[in-house]
Structure 1
Amino acid sequence: MKDVNPVRRNLLKGAVATSLASLAGTVSLNASQSAGADPDLIHRENLKAGASDWQLTRVQLDKRGGFRSSKIEGYCSKQSLAAGDEIEIMVSTRPAQEFKIEIFRTGYYGGRGARLMQTLGPFQGKPQPVPKPGKKNLHECHWDAAVSLTIPDDWPSGVYLGRLSTLKDKTEYGYWQNYVVFIVKDDRPADILFQCSDNTWQAYNKWPSNYSVYTHPKGNQGPWADVSFDRPYAKYAQIYDNPQSLGSGEWLCFEFPFAYWLEKHGYDVTYCSNSDMVTPDHGLKCKSFLSVGHDEYWDIKQYESVVKMRDSGVNLLFFSGNSVCWVTPLLESTDGRPQRIMFRGGPYGGKYKYAEARERDNGPFPHRGPDEGYLMGSRNVDPVNGGGDWVCELPDHWIFKDTGMKKGDSIPGLIGWEYHGDPPSDIPGLEVVARGTALQGGVNPQQWTATIYPGPKGNFVFNASTIFWCQDLASPPGHMLPWSHWSRPHGPDERVQKITHNLIRRAIS
């Protein structure tokens, strides 16, 4: 078991004991003056013409209630890459037929939500094999590549969707579509580092039929199943039915509205995958780090990188829920490519009661992680899922400036479908800025808490305590509001937008 004490000791030793309510401002990191800084990049990018047609229009699942769409489907050889790097796109069509690939960068683009970067093809498609289950039920595809793409130097960091479309012929009613998804990263010093939660997308991916981290015959919470990034993303399989999720993971469901909103307002943002954070020092050039949406699965090296960011003065903002829940070792593919297989290695939580319960009920696990509460300011609790209103607790705190909120005022449906609670009582300066009750299935109550605490160098750590935060920031094209546990967010809310502006402007000042 990993020692849980050093992180906590360092935090308590170095943290500023005064309340953040009186904090004059955050330290300005020298990184923003480093070579390669381009704070106007995202603003300039979003002045370019957006695409009027980038969403999936025609999709067909293999069966009613299924997840796979084998008319056309694909995956990429890497989760992320930089300009100048090469990525392969693997595609299968059933039956064999021609197809094209349109590459879009998602963003604001005058409200259209994406820009067409390149059209590839036509290509001759063919049926590619479904792999036989390997050790630990692993489904790892070894498909032939349709195309190898070198990322042009002028493609900025962002989340890119490749829309796969069959071409019309006499044997079809028309065309069929699906996505592939990849992230373009860079190493420039930006104000905001937006971490995509793609480990979690893959953990819940059921392609081809019912094979995810959660579907092993031994049970759905143990370390028994391996999953591979070398397979298509099936349709999202949890709380609601979203056909736009075919091939795109959970990006359009729980993260894209945040990116759309950031780029609308010209924030200086760069993007990365969970796997990029395994690299030490990846985020140290940035002023702030964002965890967004459902960010459940973290490699321990990723955790250590983010702790180092906090201790170096980077502001951490967890606009997410159920985050830092499971230690997720990232392993090589069977052909040796790094970080292409993952599994549930064990719980974060250290000696915390719910982590101990997970070990008792679903272990033994090969790994254990530190108490995530000392990083995020609040923990994963049990039950961790449910729905509720986000309720103001400290209206005089600076995060609520110009919102008009009073104590007890609530933002309907913003808590869900998973959240955090039970903050550590011994973090100096920690404040609970919002709190309330979530109901699991409409009946089973649990207390959640949104928190903020000062870091050791004038920085801060904020935890919104909900997967749904981005739902009330924006409603871009290609996005659907979710519904879960008899509760739902309502969409763009000026108070959520203002709170987010207050936090990010403080974080990048």
Structure 2
Amino acid sequence: MGEQQGSGTNRRRFLGLAVGTAAALSACGPGGGRPAGPAAAELGTQPSAVTPRPSPSATQAENERPGNADWGVSAAGPQQAVEGFADRVSVLPGEQFGLHVSTTAPGFTVSAYRMGWYGGARARLVWRSERVPGSRQPDATVDQRTRTVRTGWARTTTVDTKGWPEGSYLLRLDAEGGAGQRFVPITVRSRSTTGKTVIVNAVATWQAYNEWGGYNLYNGPTGGLATRSLEVTFDRPYKYDDGAGLFLVYEAPLIALAERLGIPLAYTTGVDLAREPELLHGAAAVVSLGHDEYWSPEQRQHVTAARDAGTNVAILGANCCYRRVRFEPSELGPDRTVVCYKGAYADDPGYRAGKPATTDFRAQPGADPESSLLGVIYDGYPVDAPYVVTNPGHWLFAGTGVKSGDSFPHLVGVEYDRVITSFPTPRPIEILAHSPVVCEGRHSFADSAYYTTPGGAGVFASGTMRWVEALDAHGPGGSKADHGMDARAGELTRKVTENLLRAFAAGPAAKAHPANDNLPANG
């Protein structure tokens, strides 16, 4: 997210885990002062046919199994009642990982839930431990140079994933005697992505906003930038009440929809994409979820190479690929520290040693605006505005019944992206929705956009961070949990996302759905 040095911004709960709080921000995003982009031209009103349903997959077979509706955290208890973390961000099926748990209870159990559809239950119990003896681990320490919180906790138990299907998992820790519950997220990543739609868990962003121990990449004890961490580690629990980081808000709704469709899926994390250059080789599509802000240059390079080879790219959020980070080891293993000095990059020993500056991708030194990959660029925070359809004939709107000018309250927020051609912008590109916003008094637009590449890939960007959240909007509106988004917003986003995922799963989307540029020639 955009920020100014010394602004005192508290960003821990900004993104509206229920409320979408907009803390003080003296400038509304990095797009301030730039000329307004063009309104989208209509391309007709009759949507073309969408891609037929792919054949049944292992994903569909998995989701035909019965789920467990009681998977959630129902009694969190005090913060220190039970909490923990895994010493691997992801594992391959059959690999082991360690759990580091601290609890005030004499014992606890671990239940591994694979997240999916499962007839609406959203999770399936894959494994449950025997009773594990519990103990209170030492208090965390803070590195004086980087203000990194370090637990130093001992491994409590080892978990073997033999027989676990690939997917996104939440491990629920249940303290003995009902003292409390917490989640620990882990990804059982796919061995192959060939022919599959790849779901990417945005673990670096989860960690950037994790204020466990009093520090994250935005705030320290003073609530502002001056005391923030310059590096954060995965070697600590997540502070949010349930321990799941940002997963349940920004990722789980999309996973449920994708698994319900039964398209072939693969799972990985941004850390794995950075480490493995060939990971996306042959993938049908790669999906960035609701909030995926922190990327390494390697991750961006590998996703861009996949796009150029014909892999479709879906950006179902906003503020994606905004911060440039570096992964370094921790005491527990490689790639477990997220380094992001932001405006203080000159103080980074890694930068002084010749590594890229860990600041915004669009910023100097080494400016490389994210729009060259996404088509859109981050323009501001905070906003709460209607989503306005301007290109109802686009194939992504097939089956929605939308008309030009149809409006969906609260669907644009709390951050937004737009097409700004003064930044690098792939062409041909189409704007599907061009939604007026007012951000800290500045008038602008949020854009949903779609472009295609010479290699055949289609790239879609929703332009709003609430897209994935809206997939779960079913009510009449006014719910704080959904930012007031109503059933109409839910129906729209679910249908558009279904059209998108089915088409992208079928292979290079430009073949069936070439983009028809609707920006002015001088846009």
2:175 is aligned, of 163, 166, 169, to: 166
Conserved in 2, the CA contact under 8 Å of 1:377 and 1:424?
A: no
**Could you tell me how far 1:429 is from its partner in structure 2?**
0.9
The residue aligned with 2:269 is 273
1:177 paired with 2:181, answer yes
**1:316 is aligned with what amino acid?**
V
Residues 33-89 of structure 1 show CA distances to partners (whole Å, capped at 9, x for unaligned) of xxxxx961111111112113111111134xxxxxxx111100000111111211101
**2:427 is aligned with what amino acid?**
P
Question: Partner of 1:436: helix, strand, or coil?
Answer: strand
The residue aligned with 1:57 is 74
Conserved in 2, the CA contact under 8 Å of 1:191 and 1:268?
A: yes
The residue aligned with 2:437 is 438
Residues 192-228 of structure 1 show CA distances to partners (whole Å, capped at 9, x for unaligned) of 10111111111010102x2100114695399962111
The residue aligned with 1:4 is none
Distance in 2 (alpha carbons) for counterparts of 1:207 and 1:284: 36
Change over 3 Å in CA distance of 1:362–1:471 after alignment to 2: closer
1:88 paired with 2:98, answer yes
Change over 3 Å in CA distance of 1:481–1:113 after alignment to 2: farther
1:290 is aligned, of 287, 290, 294, to: 287
Conserved in 2, the CA contact under 8 Å of 1:327 and 1:368?
A: no
Q: For the aligned residues, what is the CA RMSD?
A: 3.2
**Could you tell me how far 1:338 is from its partner in structure 2?**
1.1
1:324 is aligned, of 318, 321, 326, to: 321
2:106 is aligned, of 94, 97, 103, to: 97
Question: Partner of 2:98: helix, strand, or coil?
Answer: strand
Conserved in 2, the CA contact under 8 Å of 1:387 and 1:488?
A: no
**1:401 is aligned with what amino acid?**
A
Tell me which moved more, 287-296 or 131-140.
Answer: 131-140
Residues 297-323 of structure 1 show CA distances to partners (whole Å, capped at 9, x for unaligned) of 001100001110110000111011111
Distance in 2 (alpha carbons) for counterparts of 1:97 and 1:20: 65
Change over 3 Å in CA distance of 1:128–1:309 after alignment to 2: same
Conserved in 2, the CA contact under 8 Å of 1:345 and 1:368?
A: no
Question: Partner of 2:183: helix, strand, or coil?
Answer: strand
Change over 3 Å in CA distance of 1:26–1:394 after alignment to 2: closer
Question: Partner of 1:193: helix, strand, or coil?
Answer: strand
Question: Partner of 2:335: helix, strand, or coil?
Answer: coil
Conserved in 1, the CA contact under 8 Å of 2:108 and 2:173?
A: yes
Change over 3 Å in CA distance of 1:367–1:247 after alignment to 2: farther
Distance in 2 (alpha carbons) for counterparts of 1:214 and 1:304: 26
**1:46 is aligned with what amino acid?**
N
Conserved in 2, the CA contact under 8 Å of 1:346 and 1:369?
A: no
Conserved in 1, the CA contact under 8 Å of 2:77 and 2:179?
A: no
**Could you tell me how far 1:370 is from its partner in structure 2?**
1.1
The residue aligned with 1:207 is 212
**Could you tell me how far 1:123 is from its partner in structure 2?**
1.3
Question: Partner of 2:172: helix, strand, or coil?
Answer: strand
The residue aligned with 2:386 is 389
Conserved in 2, the CA contact under 8 Å of 1:401 and 1:502?
A: yes
2:154 is aligned, of 129, 132, 144, to: 144
The residue aligned with 1:35 is none
**Could you tell me how far 1:436 is from its partner in structure 2?**
1.2
**Could you tell me how far 1:502 is from its partner in structure 2?**
1.9
**Could you tell me how far 1:247 is from its partner in structure 2?**
1.4
Conserved in 2, the CA contact under 8 Å of 1:260 and 1:474?
A: no
**2:435 is aligned with what amino acid?**
G
Change over 3 Å in CA distance of 1:366–1:98 after alignment to 2: farther
The residue aligned with 1:305 is 302
The residue aligned with 2:250 is 254
Residues 257-289 of structure 1 show CA distances to partners (whole Å, capped at 9, x for unaligned) of 110111112121111111011021211231011
**Could you tell me how far 1:475 is from its partner in structure 2?**
5.9
Conserved in 2, the CA contact under 8 Å of 1:42 and 1:269?
A: yes
The residue aligned with 2:63 is 46
Distance in 2 (alpha carbons) for counterparts of 1:310 and 1:362: 22
**1:265 is aligned with what amino acid?**
L
Change over 3 Å in CA distance of 1:151–1:367 after alignment to 2: farther
The residue aligned with 1:452 is 450
Runs of 4+ in 1 over 4 A off after TM superposition: 19-27, 216-219, 221-224, 365-369, 480-484
Conserved in 2, the CA contact under 8 Å of 1:39 and 1:190?
A: no
Q: Superposed, which structure 2 residues align to 1:312-461 within 5 Å?
A: 312-335=309-332, 337-346=333-342, 368-381=366-379, 383-424=380-421, 427-440=426-439, 445-461=443-459
Residues 312-353 of structure 1 show CA distances to partners (whole Å, capped at 9, x for unaligned) of 000111011111110011111135x11101132448xxxxxx
Identity %: 27
When normalised by structure 2's length, the TM-score is: 0.77
Distance in 2 (alpha carbons) for counterparts of 1:404 and 1:374: 32
Residues 105-128 of structure 1 show CA distances to partners (whole Å, capped at 9, x for unaligned) of 111111111111111131111110
The residue aligned with 1:9 is none
Question: Partner of 2:317: helix, strand, or coil?
Answer: strand
The residue aligned with 1:465 is 463
1:74 paired with 2:91, answer no
**1:436 is aligned with what amino acid?**
S
Distance in 2 (alpha carbons) for counterparts of 1:254 and 1:221: 28
Change over 3 Å in CA distance of 1:263–1:226 after alignment to 2: same
Change over 3 Å in CA distance of 1:313–1:346 after alignment to 2: farther
Conserved in 1, the CA contact under 8 Å of 2:317 and 2:464?
A: yes
**1:143 is aligned with what amino acid?**
W
1:494 is aligned, of 485, 491, 496, to: 491
When normalised by structure 1's length, the TM-score is: 0.79
Distance in 2 (alpha carbons) for counterparts of 1:203 and 1:230: 13
Question: Partner of 1:321: helix, strand, or coil?
Answer: coil
Conserved in 2, the CA contact under 8 Å of 1:160 and 1:183?
A: yes
Change over 3 Å in CA distance of 1:191–1:222 after alignment to 2: farther
Distance in 2 (alpha carbons) for counterparts of 1:379 and 1:221: 27
Question: Partner of 2:287: helix, strand, or coil?
Answer: strand
Question: Partner of 1:231: helix, strand, or coil?
Answer: coil
Residues 427-482 of structure 1 show CA distances to partners (whole Å, capped at 9, x for unaligned) of 321111111123447x6543211111111222211111112112232369xxx976
Distance in 1 (alpha carbons) for counterparts of 2:183 and 2:70: 14
**1:502 is aligned with what amino acid?**
N
Conserved in 2, the CA contact under 8 Å of 1:20 and 1:454?
A: no
Distance in 1 (alpha carbons) for counterparts of 2:331 and 2:285: 35
Question: Partner of 1:195: helix, strand, or coil?
Answer: strand
Residues 85-111 of structure 1 show CA distances to partners (whole Å, capped at 9, x for unaligned) of 1110111012x5111111111111111
1:474 paired with 2:472, answer yes
2:142 is aligned, of 111, 117, 133, to: 133
